[in-house]
Chains A and B, each alone.
Chain A
Amino acid sequence: MIPAAFDYVRAHTTDEAFAHLQQHGADARVLAGGQSLIPAMRFRLARPAVLVDINALTDLGHLRISDQALAVGAIARDSDIERAPWIGERRWSLIRDASRVVADPVVRQMGTVVGSLCHNDPAGDWTTVALASGATVVVRGKTGTRRVPIDSFLVDSFATAVGEGEMALGADFPVPDDRTAGSYQKVERKVGDFATAAAAVQVSLNADGTIRAAGVALSAAGACAVRVDAAEKLLAGQKPSAELIRAASNAAWERSAPQADLRGTVEYKKHLAGVLVARGLRQALARLGVQA
């Protein structure tokens, strides 16, 4: 299982990386953490003619929090998130939960958040988190840099809004307010496996205890991560209750359209989608001091 031969270029600046990508178009792939790409190349599922290594672009290794967003650079590692000094804050609980269950602890020391978004595996974790938290991806194209909301970024299995010759520079996760908490619930056969099913949930409360807004998304429930719009709509404006959580859980069950594989049947995975959304909502609310 040796990858097909390819040409390797190491970029030392973003401009240089972009120039290589423009030159080679569809034949080139960006090499960031490589923790999905390299195994895919070894199985010959991917055969890029050129790899553009961006690991030397240390200016894309940032995790920066501004008033509006957490900016995650293209080579920020999963383990950088896991160990960020602010990761214990309640508002980041969705991202913290996910950062501890992506792949395994060694893979996380190389793997990147942005690479995972660009890979867009149907059973990915960060894509699901990005949907529930309303992230945007910063993409550099021929005419300049544009910001793509995650819903339109995720096009299809292993396909994104990053076009030929383009490059994702980073992803921005909006800073949740201090009445926001989240939860990431994942069922996997073993550490390091892809999700059999997973749910990302983020809830913001109003001062009166009603739900201001909710993000609900599923992994391994369709061609790529899916937003459960129906659950988000029925939660908004309501007071948390067991009945409300049941309704959101049912909406997740309905929305989930998984494929049967070694990890489980369609029926089982749909069941999990419902259960995990309910657990996620209960945990997010508990983190906000609300029992429902």
Chain B
Amino acid sequence: MKVNVKVNGVSYEKDVEPRTLLAYFLREDCKLTGTHVGCDTSSCGCCVVVMDGTRAVKSCSMFAVQADGHEILTVEGLAEGGKLHALQQGFWDQHGLQCGYCTPGMMLTSYALLKQQPAPSENDIREGLAGNLCRCTGYNNIVKAVQQAAATLSQPAGAAK
């Protein structure tokens, strides 16, 4: 089946089997391997991407054909013009990762969270990330990273370094 999915602003027109999961479409058809597959059954959140700008979805539990005509944002699309996105900078500055496996999912879940709730409390962030597992950090630095990003993004345009 022919699909046309816009990923990080680029249209990918591909012929896929209906049973192709979005995660594998991104990794194998679009060669965007930043989206990770962990549990493969919607429990861990490593594969989260953002659909149509505000909705976080687990790409292991959605078919690529469902994304036909939609816009997908993956971790590769966060940075602009060689400049890290506020979330990436936050994870860097706050040591929000060790092995990095969960990081793309953490950042994309947080991206949707900040779109829906630009000024989340610490508790909002912890609850919002409850579907994403990290085995390294103990979560505290991830929460700090998202707090930093929220603060950066809420500054008026141009004020951010």
- Which chain A residues have a beta carbon within 8 Å of chain B's beta carbons? 1-8, 10, 31, 34-35, 38-39, 41-43, 51, 53, 55, 83, 100, 103-107, 109-110, 191-192
> What 0/1 pattern do residues 91 to 117 of B give for CB contact below 8 A with A?
000000000000000000100110010
Report whether B40 and A106 are in contact in the complex, using a CB–CB cutoff of 8 Å.
no
Report whether A106 and B109 are in contact in the complex, using a CB–CB cutoff of 8 Å.
yes
List 5 tightest A-B contacts by C-beta distance, closest first.
A104-B131, A8-B18, A191-B130, A106-B131, A3-B19
Contacts A/B (CB < 8 Å), 16 sampled: A1-B40, A5-B18, A5-B19, A6-B19, A8-B1, A10-B65, A38-B42, A38-B63, A83-B116, A105-B56, A105-B113, A105-B131, A106-B57, A106-B58, A109-B112, A192-B43
Cα separation A100 to B131 with both chains bound (whole Å) = 12
Give the distance to chain B from A187, nearest Cβ to Cβ, in Å.
16
Cα separation A47 to B15 with both chains bound (whole Å) = 22
At the interface, yes or no: B75 with Cβ under 8 Å from chain A? Answer: no
- Which chain B residues have a beta carbon within 8 Å of chain A's beta carbons? 1, 17-19, 21, 40-43, 45, 48, 55-58, 61-63, 65-66, 68, 109, 112-113, 116, 127-132
Report whether B19 and A107 are in contact in the complex, using a CB–CB cutoff of 8 Å.
no
Report whether A38 and B61 are in contact in the complex, using a CB–CB cutoff of 8 Å.
yes
B128 contacts across to A, CB distance below 8 A:
105
Report whether B17 and A5 are in contact in the complex, using a CB–CB cutoff of 8 Å.
yes
Nearest B-chain residue to A191, judged by Cβ: B130
Cα separation A43 to B116 with both chains bound (whole Å) = 33
Report whether A38 and B45 are in contact in the complex, using a CB–CB cutoff of 8 Å.
no
Report whether A7 and B58 are in contact in the complex, using a CB–CB cutoff of 8 Å.
no
A38 contacts across to B, CB distance below 8 A:
21, 42, 61-63
Cα separation A105 to B19 with both chains bound (whole Å) = 25
Nearest A-chain residue to B131, judged by Cβ: A104
A35 contacts across to B, CB distance below 8 A:
42, 61
Cα separation A5 to B17 with both chains bound (whole Å) = 8
Partner of A109, one of B18, B57, B127: B57
Assuming A2-B19, A42-B40, is B131 touching A110 (CB within 8 A)? Answer: no
Report whether B66 and A42 are in contact in the complex, using a CB–CB cutoff of 8 Å.
no
Cα separation A55 to B45 with both chains bound (whole Å) = 22
Give the distance to chain B from A190, nearest Cβ to Cβ, in Å.
9
Cα separation A34 to B22 with both chains bound (whole Å) = 13
